[in-house]
């Protein structure tokens, strides 16, 4: 395990602690809060790619699944974050110029995928009010928090390398 991997694992653990002790307790309007773990996985995947994003998503989701107050099927959130991490990484691998739009899209799609997977697995918390009230608030909070959180995560994951070098990692696909 390299130094960058140790930093990434430490960052994920720190984000999990901040999510549970600070963000989930903020007196925000409505019932939602930004999902820092989701946004961290997206930022990580934007820098490291689809496979690394899926692995980070699975690990972060599994940690979220086992930490209280988890009230869903074990592995449910691991699946969601694995899919989102893979999707974010794959988009940037194929279209490196879409980093910002990919980050915002994943921030918005993440809660929708979580609710869809929960519905498929028979999660009793999925209701009409969840779909019409809580889900839009969760999407809004994620989209508002995404620019700052994803930017910070990409800075940490990149390390001392410059932005120009990182963007050349994934060559643009030929359109011919």
Check if the beta carbon of residue 142 is closer than 8 Å to that of residue 38.
yes
Q: Quickly count: other Cβ atoms within 10 Å of residue 106's Cβ.
A: 28
As a whole-number percent, the residues of the chain with pLDDT over 70 amount to 89
The DSSP letter of residue 160 is T
* Average of per-residue pLDDT across 107-115: 94
- What's this model's pTM, rounded to 2 decimal places? 0.86
Asked whether 91 and 78 are in contact (CB, 8 A), the reply is no
**Mean pLDDT throughout 95-112?**
95
Per-residue pLDDT band at 24 (split at 50, 70, 90): confident
**Average pLDDT taken over every residue of the chain:** 87
Q: Using CA atoms, how far apart are residues 128 and 11, in angstroms rounded to an integer?
A: 35
Answer yes or no: is pLDDT of 11 > 50. Answer: yes
For the cut 80, the answer to whether the pLDDT of residue 27 exceeds it is yes
Structure tokens at 28: 């925000």
Task: Annotate 113-141 with three-state secondary structure.
Answer: HHHHHHHHCCCCCCCHHHHHHHHHHHHHH
Whether residue 128 is predicted with pLDDT greater than 60 in this model: the reply is yes
Alpha helices in the chain (DSSP H): 3-21, 36-48, 50-66, 76-94, 99-120, 128-129, 135-158, 163-167
Residue 142 has what pLDDT? 95
Distance CA 59, CA 135 (A): 24
- Statement: residue 165 has pLDDT above 80: no
> 10 Å Cβ neighbour count for 23?
17
pLDDT in tens, 152-163: 999 999 876 544
Lowest mean pLDDT among 7-16, 86-95, 152-161: 152-161
Q: Return the structure tokens found at 76.
A: 């449910």
Mean pLDDT value of segment 139-161? 91
CATH topology (fold) of 3-158: Arp2/3 complex 21 kDa subunit ARPC3 (1.10.1760)
Sign of the Cα pseudo-torsion (80, 143, 124, 12, in order): positive
Residue with tokens 């901040």: 18
């Amino acid at each position: 395990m390299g130094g960058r991997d140790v930093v990434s694992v430490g960052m994920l653990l720190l984000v999990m602690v901040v999510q549970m002790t600070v963000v989930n307790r903020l007196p925000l309007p409505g019932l939602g809060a930004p999902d820092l773990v989701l946004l961290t996985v997206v930022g990580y995947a934007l820098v490291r790619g689809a496979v690394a994003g899926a692995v980070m998503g699975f690990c972060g989701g599994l940690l979220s699944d086992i930490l209280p107050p988890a009230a869903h099927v074990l592995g449910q959130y691991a699946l969601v974050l694995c899919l989102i991490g893979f999707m974010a990484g794959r988009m940037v691998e194929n279209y490196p110029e879409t980093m910002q739009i990919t980050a915002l899209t994943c921030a918005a799609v993440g809660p929708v995928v979580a609710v869809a997977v929960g519905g498929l697995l028979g999660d009793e918390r999925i209701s009409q009010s969840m779909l019409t009230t809580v889900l839009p608030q969760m999407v809004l909070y994620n989209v508002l928090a995404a620019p700052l959180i994803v930017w910070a995560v990409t800075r940490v994951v990149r390390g001392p390398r410059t932005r120009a070098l990182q963007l050349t990692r994934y060559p643009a696909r030929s359109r011919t």
